[in-house]
Amino acid sequence: QFERVGFIGLGNMGFHMANNLIRAGYKVSVHDINCNAMEKFSDKGVTTKATPFEVAEISDVVITMLPSSSHVWDVYTGPNGLLHGGGLLSPWLLIDSSTIDPQTSRRLSATISQCQLKEKKDYGDAPVMLDAPVSGGVLGAEAGTLTFMVGGLEEAYLAARPLFLSMGKNTIYCGGTGNGSVNSLTIFLLLIFFIAAKICNNLAMAVSMLGVSEAFALGQSLGITASTLTKIFNSSSARCWSSDSYNPVPGVMEGVPSSRDYDGGFSSKLMAKDLNLAAASAKEVGLKFPLTSQAQEIYMELCKEGQESKDFSCVFRHYYSGMDE
Ligand code: NAD
């Protein structure tokens, strides 16, 4: 149904996702505020545009993959944003894959539903928005094995499914009613569910990364190398994703951020963002979550000390420096 795809936000995730769309044969144009990120695409002949609006002008569908709610809101509604055309839009489908709070998604859907399409389509004359946060991390983005959790109009979801499957291997449709109208309350509740699940997942990941890092540091100071400890952990009860797939000690595993100076991956600032959301939820439910607070403090401190763009597994280097493999 569409071949021209605009992609905005070419960071750790977006870079790979846009590349997978190009590989799948879509005509992709891209935008990012970071010129270096754009250069990686212009160097190989991909169309780059200076503003989100310019991307929108030449696209049937636009995908955003941005750090947080405020960035998404700016890219849509800011000067030269996607909606800059005075309510008249070229793309009929707008997909946000960033992890953002559901209130912003809802506000954005409501704003978009007031817009009109420049060219009327079979199903109607208004553009449609899908929320499609992902799980699977940078490795999944690179391998094209992400899972998309999609909220929005079912027809739009079905039309966009081939796009999702060019970047991932699973799509879960989680909301939207028939009769051509989106039940925003249903979508809101489902998105809250998925965002909540994502926050819980990332909380467990943050805490397990800290636990594994401390255990490695202790082991190394007791004279056991990180490689030996990794073998032991991975065949016993300490085995977890942080030890067997995303080891934080430089040199233990190939292809993970710790082995490339903690570049790429899931940045400390995004982890701090998710831990802040987890801590706020913990407060709301009125329970004490001591590890959540501790992890939140550690990752916020990491950001303050200049590690915000490094992968979150850099907690190992930050707190236990001098103990690399
Ligand atoms: P990132 O910080 O690496 O990339 C974000 C990109 O957006 C950057 O290139 C940045 O320059 C660009 N950007 C920021 N503001 C912009 C603006 N106003 N206009 C245009 N471009 C702008 O983040 P990421 O790791 O790629 O994550 C993106 C989203 O995906 C986040 O919401 C994150 O929570 C979510 N996510 C990340 C992972 C992961 O493992 N990294 C996994 C699942 C979900």
CATH number (domain holding residue 115): 3.40.50.720
Considering the domain boundaries, does residue 187 fall inside one? no
Q: ∠ CA 45-92-11 to the nearest 5 degrees?
A: 45
Asked which of 182, 215, 249 is the last residue of a domain, the reply is 182
User: How many angstroms is it from 169 CA to the middle of ligand 1?
Assistant: 20
Residue nearest atom 7 of ligand 1, based on CA coordinates: 9
Among 12, 38, 51, 75, residue to substitute to test ligand 1 (most atoms within 8 Å of Cβ): 12
Residue 199 clears pLDDT 80, i.e. is over it: yes
In tens, the pLDDT along 96-111 reads 999 887 778 878 888 9
**What tens digit of pLDDT does each residue of 133-190 get?**
898 889 899 999 999 988 888 889 999 999 999 999 999 887 653 323 345 566 566 6
Determine the longest span between alpha carbons in the chain, in angstroms.
70
Q: How far is the CA of 222 from the centre of ligand 1 (A)?
A: 39
Residue 188 falls inside a structural domain: no
pLDDT for res 166: 98
Q: How confident is the model at residue 113 (pLDDT cuts 50, 70, 90)?
A: confident
Q: Which ligand 1 atom sits nearest the alpha carbon of residue 75?
A: 18
Query: Which protein residue's CA is at the shortest distance from atom 1 of ligand 1?
Result: 11
Instruction: Write down which residue in 182, 209, 241 finishes a domain.
Output: 182
Banded pLDDT at 321 (limits 50, 70, 90): low
Residues 279 and 169 in one domain: no
Same domain, 160 and 283: no
Whether residue 277 sits in one domain with residue 216: yes
We report the CATH number of the domain holding residue 281 as 1.10.1040.10
Q: Is 282 a domain residue?
A: yes
Based on the fold, state whether residues 140 and 217 are members of the same structural domain: no
Higher pLDDT among residues 20 and 1, named by residue = 20
What element of type H or E holds 39? helix 35-42
Distance from Cα 72 to the centre of ligand 1, integer Å: 10
pLDDT tens profile 229-283: 999 999 999 999 999 999 999 999 999 999 999 999 999 999 999 999 889 888 8
Q: Whose CA is nearest to atom 34 of ligand 1?
A: 99
Are residues 83 and 25 both part of a single domain? yes
Percent pLDDT > 90 in the chain is 66
Q: What angle do CA 148, 151, 157 make, to 5 degrees?
A: 75
Crossing angle of the two packed helices 184-221 and 226-234, in degrees rounded to 10: 130
Residue appearing with tokens 């699977």: 136
Q: Do residues 304 and 243 both lie within one domain? A: yes
Using the mean position of ligand 1's atoms as its centre, give its distance from the Cα of residue 133 in Å: 12
One domain for residues 221 and 177: no
Q: What is the DSSP string of 47-85?
A: EE-SSHHHHHHT-SEEEE--SSHHHHHHHHHSTT-TTTT
| Position in ligand 1 atom list of the atom nearest CA 34 | 11
Do residues 40 and 168 both lie within one domain?
A: yes
Rg of the chain's alpha carbons, rounded to an integer? 21
CA of 312 to the centre of ligand 1 (A): 14
Which token pair is 139?
A: 């490795």
Gap between the Cα atoms of 101 and 198, Å rounded? 11
Q: Does 28 fall in a domain?
A: yes
Kindly tell me if the per-residue pLDDT of 129 is higher than 70. Answer: yes
Query: Measuring from atom 11 of ligand 1, which residue has the nearest CA?
Result: 34
pLDDT digits (tens, 9 = 90+) for 25-46: 999 999 999 999 999 999 999 9
Look up 169 and say whether it is catalytic.
no
In this prediction the pTM is 0.85
Q: Is residue 200, in this structure, part of any structural domain at all?
A: yes
- 56 part of a folded domain: yes
In this predicted model, which residue has the larger pLDDT, 319 or 69? Answer: 69
Which of the four pLDDT bands, split at 50, 70 and 90, describes residue 67? very high
Of 147, 182, 217, which one is at a domain's C-terminal end? 182
Domain count, the chain: 2
Q: How are beta strands 146-150 and 134-135 bridged, if at all?
A: antiparallel
Pocket of ligand 1 (CB under 6 A): 8-14, 31-34, 37, 65-67, 71, 74-75, 98-99, 134-135, 137-138, 266-267, 270
C-alpha to C-alpha distance for 144 and 21, rounded to whole angstroms:
9
Q: Which residue has the higher pLDDT, 123 or 67?
A: 67
With a cut of 80, say whether residue 212 has pLDDT above it: yes
Domain range enclosing 263? 194-320
Same domain, 154 and 290: no
Distance from the alpha carbon of residue 47 to the mean position of ligand 1, in angstroms: 20
ipTM exceeds 0.85:
yes
Whether residues 173 and 203 share a domain: the answer is no
170 and 112 in a common domain:
yes
Question: What ligand 1 atom has the least distance to the C-alpha of 269?
Answer: 2
pLDDT value of position 121? 72
**Would residue 166 count as lying in a domain?**
yes
Assess whether 240 and 161 both reside in one domain. no
pLDDT at 182: 44
Q: Is 82's pLDDT higher than 70?
A: yes
Query: Average pLDDT of the chain?
Result: 89
- For residue 191, the model assigns a pLDDT of 63
Is pLDDT larger for residue 121 or for residue 64? 64
The answer to whether position 10 is within a domain reads yes
Q: Which one is catalytic: 27, 121, 169, 198?
A: 198
Atom of ligand 1 minimally distant from the CA of 15: 26
pLDDT score of 288 = 86
